[in-house]
Amino acid sequence: MLFISEATSAALVNHEMAFEAAREALIAACGDRSTSFPVVLGHGSSSTNRFTVKAAATAELAGLKVGSYWPGNADRGLERHNSLILLFDQETGRIGVAIEAGVVNAYRTAAADAVAADRLARPDAGILAIFGAGNQARFECLALARVRTLRQVLVVTRDPARGEAMAAELRRQGLKADISDARDACAAADIIVTATPARAPLFEADWVRPGTHVASMGSDARGKQELPPDLLARAGLFCDLAEQSRAIGEFQHAPPDVTVTAIGAVLLGRHPGRRSRDEITVFDSSGLSLQDLYIARSLLAKHRDAGGA
């Protein structure tokens, strides 16, 4: 079994790799040669420590990702999120590759939102409102900055100190960033991204301007919720995988009669995506194992090109 450590995978990954892998995975999710299996949601000995197991198979790849969230790690100076990707050797059924992927997972998650925004956000979208000031929120901003020229990033968080720290970090990365309250951020934004563990809407539907693109990436379990249901009733709804989004993603809160379209259908030209300049579009990223398989393949290729076993 080939093992790629966290340090090695973090050194190999970048936003371009993640974007291309996410695009391939989201297209594959619409094909008949891939299968995404039901998500396992579990917890550690303490129910506050949670993990998920997501698995998938394509004609060439099969494997799974175990993602964990241990909130107490912050007090230990450790990351709260960790990930491990396992690829099967399909000849023997043994694990052929194991990749520690904590940093990789942040790139991979942000990349899916960037792929969707590249097709759904208005071409001139330049003001981003980001809800959340954690590790993932930073990656979301940098990934989106690759597909749209961001004139300003508005950071919305309940913790002003964390918000200021994130804004300062984004400024060091070359982005104009400031903290804001939720209503003002929504009123100004062309793109709204929510990267939180919320279980209730973070803003009101009527705060969102016509033509805004909204992305939720924090809802990945029953009961989680970041967006107001009234917004879902009048927006164009897109996701990574419809059945998963309806079951554990943001669209568990969408009206049952509204159409939910996989972003892969837009990438394949089967759906036009945004239909007008004033349409509000919403993308729900509940997170696919296919994304993990494809970025693992890219990491493995780069590792071998660099002389790895």
What is the set of active-site residues? 65
Please report where in the chains the tokens 């300062």 appear, as a residue.
Answer: 168
Q: Which is nearest to 253 in space by CA: 282, 295, 288?
A: 282
Distance CA 185, CA 128 (A): 8
Which amino acid is residue 237, in one-letter code? L
Distance CA 3, CA 96 (A): 9
Distance CA 248, CA 202 (A): 18
CB-CB contact of 229 with 253 (8 Å): yes
